[in-house]
Structure 1
Amino acid sequence: MHLRRFILFIFFLGYQLAYAQEESPTERAVDSLERQLSIQGTGQLGSPLFPNDRYVDQSLDMETAETLLWKNNLLLIAAKFQVDAKKAGVVQAGLYANPNIFIDQSIYAEPTQRYFDTTRSGQSVFQIQQVFLLGGKIDKRVKVAELNAKISEQEFFDLSRALITKLRRTFYTIHFMRKALNFYDQSIASIEKTVSSSELAYKRRAILQAELLRLRALLFFLKKEREDLAIRTYEKESELKVLLNEDKYKPAYITFIPKVDERDLDLIKPNDSKLDDLVNYARDHRPDLKIALQTLRYEEANLELQHANAIPDLAIGPTYNRGGTAFQNYWGVTAQLNVPIFDRNQGNILAAEKAILVRKQELKNRILEVENEVSVAFQSARIKDALYRRFIDTYLKDYANLALDMIMSYEKKYITILEFADFFETYRSSVVEMLKLQTDRMEAIENVNYAVGYRIYVPTKSSNGSSEKTNKD
């Protein structure tokens, strides 16, 4: 009897050990997911993506960023040198021609049988000529060079307009990306607590493995999206470092924390502006429009110069001849003038006339493009601003309050895992899309500034708390 009981006990113990060692497909899937999650960092300081001993946050405000851009940006510095080079061309265009000196000395004098005889017995000729540009060529050349320098200045302003816009877009994008990263951090922390409590419940056989797997999958996707967003943020910070070109921001371990007061951003109201006013601003301030206008004036000045080039220049000066004429010492005057019979600069004059027609059409086309660019940018800013103001006050607040209730409801088993997961996916998408809308709104506002070529919308604080619009070149 005792032997039979002992045999049954050994058989039962072996069965339990075999069952404990056997792993179901669902359990293997859970372990695989756990291994995947273990290699995914959260992107926070101290994670594999951002080691705590490497990355340092640097706060940066917009005013400081713009100051550094004007001071350090290499493209702007190069453009300044280009302007100086074109201004040097103005100096060169105003210079007079150098005098021409002609010397003729005989090699061998037959009467004296001397080589290079420079005495009264030899022959020597000296002549000086000065070219005088007729037809006002110097003034016309200076005018052409000045217009060329003005075009270069407007190209500098156009480049600065593009770089400032890129700087501000990048600055705001980093700010809202950082807010999205903070949202992911908070969400991941909440879901991790929920997963931890679910793991304990699973050990007590209070929930199914499929339910735990669904929660872990949700946590995995949150961490994966968080890391992708962290990489995009790092790329934007790299663009900002190139724009600023500041030594203390160049190290790879430096990350930016933009200082932005969103209440100031909310004071910007595109709907308070009128499209006609913005178009008029653009006509007066767009650098590329000024380039097209200056290019037309350049071609008109070039036409005047080509007409002046048809007038021949006069070369005149004294001459001295010793021993080479009927007189021992001969003094005379030389003058040289090309006779414009065949070449009257007809081709260059015709080309300049046609260039004027080309520039006129390009100017008209540029004006049309500017008007449409302003219209599109303004309408886009109005639409995005209206959509933002419609949902920002209630939409996210309601979701944020409901999110905590949903987590508590799931932990208390008031809702199922499917209901909780569906809600959290919707909540995550809503928050991320709202932050994207805020980014798009500020980009649209900056697009209006870029399209107008004038700082129409600048976030500033007003004393009475109302919207204040500041205009800056």
Structure 2
Amino acid sequence: MTIKFLKHVIWLLLLCSFGVTQAQMKEQQPDTLSLSRVEAEALFLEKNLALIAERLNIDQAEALILQAKAWPNPELEISEVNFWATPHQVANGDGNPPLFRNGFGENRQISVQLEQLVFTARKRKKNISLQVANRELAQTAYTEMLLSLKAEFRTQLSELLYHQNNVRLLRQQQNVLSQLIRAQEAQLRNGNISKADFYRIRALDLSLRAELNEALQESNEAQKDLKSLMMLPAHTALYLTDAGLLPSKTLLLNQPLDSLLTLAEHQNPTVRVAALDLRVSEAEHTLERAMRVPDLRFNTNYDRGGNILLNFIGFGVAMDLRVFDRNRGNIKAAQARVQQSRHLHSLRVNEAQNEVVKAFKDYQQLAAFYQSIDGNFINELDEVLAGVSRNFQRKNISLLEFLDFFEAFKENKLLYFDTIRSLESKKEELNLLTGTDL
């Protein structure tokens, strides 16, 4: 019975460990998420934490506008209250009658003052204008981050598509070589080919597998960057379904350079931030100039038993005398910041326009090269590769000719994929520089 019991226990432990192992393997298997570029971008805009955090700056600026619109609170002061009066004080003073019939407040003194601060020189309105400018600056900074992250995200999408196409190409070549190696092994056994030729093909296969391994690592790197931007789980495998040709309608062939320069001058996010920063500095300078004028503090007070009148009500006004501090230092600092912001704005406009000219010229050269590539030629390369492999097996072409074509096939395909990637990257650069979606 004891041996039987131990056997049952061992079987149960083995089954449990097998179940745990299966569950762990299932957890480690990546979940493939297939998305189009449009779907991926929608998910990115919804989940990206950097955009969410930057958007909260706008809410903070809105709250500061609300605070700037509030009037200062009135100040209430109660003082000169005596809680008791000694017999000596009562005997030597006039005394005060009680406030109420029950005797409360008899021989008691009290002073109550209510004061209200009133801003002069339209300081409140100028402060509101400053906070409104800060809100617009926060909105523009959010737009700048949005455009920058979108350009980065779309560039990363193009990068992943390039690596996906590269992996697909290398696997296609690997399949051709695998079939060829199996056929060549039979030919080698029959003595129809030399061992040197066979080993040359095996060496090519090994080199191709090494390139495939490197391409998969680069694809994993591109996926890592995209998943970080999209807030996807680490175990998710991202696959993009847009692996076709670049549509001709996406080429910016008829876009005039002058219009791009105008867009860069007014819509470039960096330029817009500089322009809003200039507006904020001007609003700060205006407010600092208004601070030279002293504010007024109006007050009214009630005094019981501390004056020639038993119940005294008086009014007054107070203000600072600007004898020593006339806010000159803050005004000069704000004025210098205005000049600095103005120079920086001009600098940003010049930089943006120069970058637009360079990016547009690069794009035109890439577009001309892309259009010079025969799409039918690229599409027919797959069929030609299969034909060349058959002709090599039939000994219609030499090993050298096969290897030359095999390498040329890969180079031409990769060149085509790289051209598409570069075109899309340059287009996103132009979108960012012009602040639009061309």
Q: Does residue 1:282 correspond to 2:267, yes or no?
A: no
Pick from 176, 180, 201 the counterpart of residue 215 of structure 1. Answer: 201
Native 8 Å contact 2:110 2:305 kept in 1: yes
Native 8 Å contact 1:61 1:260 kept in 2: no
Native 8 Å contact 2:291 2:327 kept in 1: yes
Amino acid at match of 2:242: K
Q: Counterpart in 1 of 2:402?
A: 420
Q: Counterpart in 2 of 1:343?
A: 325
Q: Counterpart in 2 of 1:255?
A: 238
SS in 2 for 1:145: helix
SS in 1 for 2:324: coil
Amino acid at match of 1:89: L
| Structure 2 CA distance for aligned equivalents of residues 204 and 109 of structure 1 | 130
Pick from 183, 189, 193 the counterpart of residue 169 of structure 2. Answer: 183
Pick from 241, 244, 251 the counterpart of residue 230 of structure 2. Answer: 244
**CA apart distance, 1:56:** 4.5
Q: Counterpart in 1 of 2:371?
A: 389
| Structure 2 CA distance for aligned equivalents of residues 102 and 350 of structure 1 | 38
Q: Given the superposition, is the C-alpha separation of residues 405 and 63 from structure 1 closer, same or farther in structure 2, using an over 3 Å criterion?
A: closer
Q: Counterpart in 2 of 1:12?
A: none
Q: Given the superposition, is the C-alpha separation of residues 276 and 364 from structure 1 closer, same or farther in structure 2, using an over 3 Å criterion?
A: same
Q: Does residue 1:147 correspond to 2:129, yes or no?
A: no
Q: Given the superposition, is the C-alpha separation of residues 97 and 151 from structure 1 closer, same or farther in structure 2, using an over 3 Å criterion?
A: same
Alignment of 1:331-410 (within 5 A): 331-393=313-375, 395-397=377-379, 399-410=381-392
In structure 1, list runs of 5 or more residues that go unmatched.
1-49, 457-473
| Structure 2 CA distance for aligned equivalents of residues 449 and 260 of structure 1 | 22
| Residues 83-92 or 410-419, more deviating | 410-419
Q: Given the superposition, is the C-alpha separation of residues 239 and 293 from structure 1 closer, same or farther in structure 2, using an over 3 Å criterion?
A: same
**CA apart distance, 1:113:** 6.5
Q: How far does the alpha carbon of each residue in 1:57-96 deviate from its partner, in whole angstroms, 9 at most, with x for none?
A: 4332233223222322211111111110111001111111
Q: Counterpart in 2 of 1:86?
A: 61
SS in 2 for 1:336: strand
| Structure 1 CA distance for aligned equivalents of residues 300 and 411 of structure 2 | 90
Amino acid at match of 1:262: L
Q: Counterpart in 2 of 1:437?
A: 419
Alignment of 1:21-60 (within 5 A): 54-60=29-35
**CA apart distance, 1:372:** 1.0
Q: Given the superposition, is the C-alpha separation of residues 166 and 258 from structure 1 closer, same or farther in structure 2, using an over 3 Å criterion?
A: farther
| Structure 2 CA distance for aligned equivalents of residues 328 and 364 of structure 1 | 69
| Structure 2 CA distance for aligned equivalents of residues 96 and 82 of structure 1 | 24
Amino acid at match of 1:110: T
| Structure 2 CA distance for aligned equivalents of residues 225 and 131 of structure 1 | 76
Q: Counterpart in 2 of 1:317?
A: 299
Q: Counterpart in 1 of 2:121?
A: 135
| Structure 2 CA distance for aligned equivalents of residues 454 and 205 of structure 1 | 66
Native 8 Å contact 1:377 1:451 kept in 2: no
Pick from 35, 42, 45 the counterpart of residue 70 of structure 1. Answer: 45
Native 8 Å contact 1:282 1:454 kept in 2: no
**CA apart distance, 1:146:** 0.4
Q: Counterpart in 2 of 1:106?
A: 82
| Structure 2 CA distance for aligned equivalents of residues 58 and 288 of structure 1 | 35
Q: How far does the alpha carbon of each residue in 1:134-188 deviate from its partner, in whole angstroms, 9 at most, with x for none?
A: 1101000000000001000001111110121122222233223222222111110
Amino acid at match of 1:347: G
Native 8 Å contact 1:127 1:317 kept in 2: yes
| Structure 2 CA distance for aligned equivalents of residues 202 and 231 of structure 1 | 35
SS in 2 for 1:122: coil
| Structure 2 CA distance for aligned equivalents of residues 324 and 110 of structure 1 | 17
| Structure 1 CA distance for aligned equivalents of residues 410 and 40 of structure 2 | 32
Q: Counterpart in 2 of 1:18?
A: none
**CA apart distance, 1:266:** 2.1
SS in 1 for 2:73: coil
| Structure 2 CA distance for aligned equivalents of residues 290 and 428 of structure 1 | 45
Q: How far does the alpha carbon of each residue in 1:373-424 deviate from its partner, in whole angstroms, 9 at most, with x for none?
A: 1111111111111111112435535644543343223222333333322332
SS in 2 for 1:332: strand
SS in 1 for 2:241: strand
Aligned-residue CA RMSD (Å): 2.4
Q: Does residue 1:97 correspond to 2:42, yes or no?
A: no
TM-score scaled to structure 2, two decimals? 0.85
Q: Does residue 1:201 correspond to 2:190, yes or no?
A: no
| Structure 2 CA distance for aligned equivalents of residues 354 and 255 of structure 1 | 51
Q: Counterpart in 1 of 2:5?
A: none
**CA apart distance, 1:109:** 2.6
TM-score scaled to structure 1, two decimals? 0.79
Q: Counterpart in 1 of 2:21?
A: none
**CA apart distance, 1:268:** 2.2
Q: How far does the alpha carbon of each residue in 1:314-360 deviate from its partner, in whole angstroms, 9 at most, with x for none?
A: 11111122222222222212321101111110001101111111011
Alignment length (residue pairs)? 401
Give the fraction of aligned pairs with identical amino acids, expressed as a percent: 23
Q: Counterpart in 1 of 2:14?
A: none
Q: Counterpart in 1 of 2:22?
A: none
